[in-house]
């Protein structure tokens, strides 16, 4: 009899970003990886890279984070990682939609796009994950059936100029995570929310500037995806007598 393999499911991964770094960190802890993302080619390249580093990883591309596409991707995940050989024990919802525009320039389509990727996707993802977690046994070390974390940002708690589409969605995500944390704590399901309050040094964030921005070389003013991943692993391993719902992370010199 072989042991049951733990699986981490991540929604929202890009090369060099928070989702990818978290996947690599959990792989080092012995997890198999189910990675959900838009952009099938980039996702497959990332999965190939993880596999060549010795991880068991599978790409699950989605056309969008709408509830129907989340529901259908979970059918594929259960086929690839069937119970009882595998058990989904950790999940990260990291899919986000960055949109910054003055309020009167926003369209209803902009508003809905942020809501779909950030809130509807997280709602559908959480239902799939929590149904699975409820069937898990309680881990002897951590006292939990499963660990579900959401990536938030500055806009999760502070609206600002140009955040009138993104902030309502990110606040909604935070509210969802708090509601689930309270409802499922008594099931020994650990739900957490991380506020990433600063710029993350990733190929994607760098590509949004013309010249290499000053924060690329300055460790004091930006976050590394690998360091965020370390915090996520720490939360996943917290024992049941001291669970964090919300964690905030920012670089040393962040002006907040
Ligand atoms: C993952 O979360 C970070 C922090 O909110 C965000 O910047 C990034 O765009 C997200 N990744 C994806 C693929 O949505
Ligand atoms: C709010 O937006 C202004 C630009 O309009 C920016 O300078 C400031 O840093 C932002 N504040 C936060 C908390 O993001």
pLDDT tens readout for residues 93-111: 999 999 999 999 999 999 9
Kindly give the distance from the C-alpha atom of residue 160 to the centroid of ligand 2, in angstroms, as a whole number: 6
The answer to whether residue 256 is domain-embedded is: no
The answer to whether residue 133 is domain-embedded is: yes
The answer to whether residue 69 is domain-embedded is: yes
Residue 252, token pair as written in the block: 């040393």
Kindly give the distance from the C-alpha atom of residue 120 to the centroid of ligand 1, in angstroms, as a whole number: 16
Residue 204, token pair as written in the block: 């994607």
Q: Exposed, middle or buried by CB within 10 Å (0-12, 13-18, 19+), for 41?
A: exposed
The pTM (predicted TM-score) of the whole model is: 0.97
**Domain range spanning residue 14?**
5-249
The answer to whether residue 70 is domain-embedded is: yes
Q: How many domains does the chain have?
A: 1
Strands 86-93, 189-196: pairing kind: unpaired
Kindly give the distance from the C-alpha atom of residue 139 to the centroid of ligand 2, in angstroms, as a whole number: 43
Kindly give the distance from the C-alpha atom of residue 209 to the centroid of ligand 2, in angstroms, as a whole number: 17
Kindly give the distance from the C-alpha atom of residue 158 to the centroid of ligand 2, in angstroms, as a whole number: 10
Residue of minimum CA distance from atom 10 in ligand 2: 160
The answer to whether residue 254 is domain-embedded is: no
Cβ pair 130, 150 in contact under 8 A: no
Kindly give the distance from the C-alpha atom of residue 12 to the centroid of ligand 1, in angstroms, as a whole number: 7
Query: Among 66, 168, 47, 55, which Cα is nearest to 124's?
Result: 66
Atom of ligand 1 nearest to the CA of 38: 13
Distance CA 230, CA 114 (A): 28
In order, the DSSP letters of 171-240 are HHHHHHHHHHHHHHGGGTEEEEEEEE-S-B--HHHHHTSSSPPGGGT-TTSSB-HHHHHHHHHHHHH--T
Residue of minimum CA distance from atom 2 in ligand 1: 94
Greatest CA span in the chain, whole angstroms? 62
Distance CA 156, CA 174 (A): 6
Distance CA 115, CA 34 (A): 24
The answer to whether residue 174 is domain-embedded is: yes
CA 246 to chain centre: 14
The answer to whether residue 53 is domain-embedded is: yes
Which residues in the chain land under pLDDT 70? 1-2
Atom of ligand 1 nearest to the CA of 117: 14
Q: Please enumerate in sequence order all residues whose Cβ is within 8 A of that of 99, keeping only pairs 6 or more positions apart, or say none.
A: 106, 110, 113, 114, 165, 166
Residue of minimum CA distance from atom 9 in ligand 1: 96
Q: How many other C-beta atoms are found inside a 10 Å radius of the C-beta of residue 172?
A: 18
Atom of ligand 1 nearest to the CA of 37: 13
Residues with CB under 6 A from ligand 2: 154, 158, 160-161
Position of tokens 């939990």? 144
Atom of ligand 1 nearest to the CA of 12: 13
Mutate to test the pocket of ligand 2, among 100, 101, 159, 160 (most ligand atoms within 8 A of CB): 160
Distance CA 38, CA 11 (A): 9
Distance CA 24, CA 6 (A): 14
The answer to whether residue 49 is domain-embedded is: yes
Q: Supply the CATH number for residue 217's domain.
A: 3.40.50.720
Q: What is the mean pLDDT of the chain?
A: 96
Residues with CB under 6 A from ligand 1: 12-14, 17-19, 94-96, 151, 153, 196, 200
Distance CA 125, CA 70 (A): 6
């Amino acid at each position: 009899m072989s042991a049951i393999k733990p699986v981490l499911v991540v929604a929202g991964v890009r090369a060099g970003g928070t989702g990818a770094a978290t996947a690599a960190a959990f792989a080092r802890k012995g997890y198999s990886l189910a990675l959900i993302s838009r952009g099938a080619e980039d996702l497959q390249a990332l999965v190939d890279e993880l596999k060549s580093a010795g991880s068991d990883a599978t790409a699950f591309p989605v056309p969008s984070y709408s509830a129907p596409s989340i529901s259908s991707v979970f059918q594929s995940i259960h086929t690839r990682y069937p119970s009882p050989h595998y058990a989904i024990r950790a999940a990260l919802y990291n899919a986000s939609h960055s949109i910054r525009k003055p309020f009167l320039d926003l369209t209803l389509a902009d508003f809905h796009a942020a809501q779909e990727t950030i809130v509807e996707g997280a709602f559908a993802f959480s239902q799939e994950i929590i149904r699975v977690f409820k069937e898990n046994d309680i881990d002897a070390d951590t006292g939990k059936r499963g660990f579900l974390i959401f990536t938030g940002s500055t806009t999760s708690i502070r609206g600002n100029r140009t955040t009138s589409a993104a902030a309502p969605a990110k606040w909604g995500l935070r509210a969802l995570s708090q509601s689930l944390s309270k409802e499922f704590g008594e099931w020994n399901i650990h739900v957490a929310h991380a506020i990433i309050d600063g710029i993350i040094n990733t190929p994607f964030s760098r590509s949004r500037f013309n010249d290499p921005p000053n924060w690329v070389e300055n460790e004091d003013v930006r976050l590394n995806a690998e360091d965020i991943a370390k915090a996520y692993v720490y939360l996943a391993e917290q024992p049941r007598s001291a669970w964090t719902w919300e964690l905030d992370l920012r670089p040393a010199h962040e002006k907040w």
